[in-house]
Amino acid sequence: MEKLDAEALRNILTNSKTIAVVGLSPNPARPSNEVARYLMAHGYTIIPVNPGQGEILGQICYASLDAIPVKVDIVDVFRNSVDVLPVAEAAIRIGAKCLWLQLGVGHPTAEEMSEAAGLKVVVNRCTKIDHMRLL
């Protein structure tokens, strides 16, 4: 799998506008909520994906990636590694540009499949931390 350097990460974050956050929690104390709030404050459109919610952070929440009616640039995954494969399959189906697996999240099969389908794949990194560091 391609190892993305700082310039590649910067390009992903600079050229992306819409981020679907899979596993976004409505709880402000959860990392997914903190990261989504940060990204919104920095101009990104955040689309919550959490089947148990109707709205998070004032945004319509979707039950799945397939239900999102607009183009998604980054699929930012806050799920357990064992749950990543169907998320990666959906990211490919919807034509996302990047599958971003948060800190502690990885799934070699999903990563390889996504990369083979043309997605940039970021593993075990945080969008907020990388945005703060690179931009």
Query: Domains of the chain (ranges plus CATH)?
Result: 6-71+82-106+120-134 (3.40.50.720)
pLDDT under 70 in the chain at which residues? none
**What is the pLDDT, as a whole number, of residue 96?**
98
Q: Is 13 in contact with 130 (CB distance < 8 Å)?
A: yes
Q: Is 92 in contact with 113 (CB distance < 8 Å)?
A: yes
Q: Cα(87)–Cα(68) distance, rounded to whole angstroms?
A: 13
**What is the pLDDT, as a whole number, of residue 127?**
98
**What is the pLDDT, as a whole number, of residue 1?**
77
**What is the pLDDT, as a whole number, of residue 23?**
98
113: part of which helix (H) or strand (E)? helix 108-116
**What is the pLDDT, as a whole number, of residue 2?**
79
DSSP 30: S
Residue 82 tokens read as: 């064992």
Sign of CA dihedral 120, 125, 128, 133: negative
Q: Is 86 in contact with 109 (CB distance < 8 Å)?
A: no
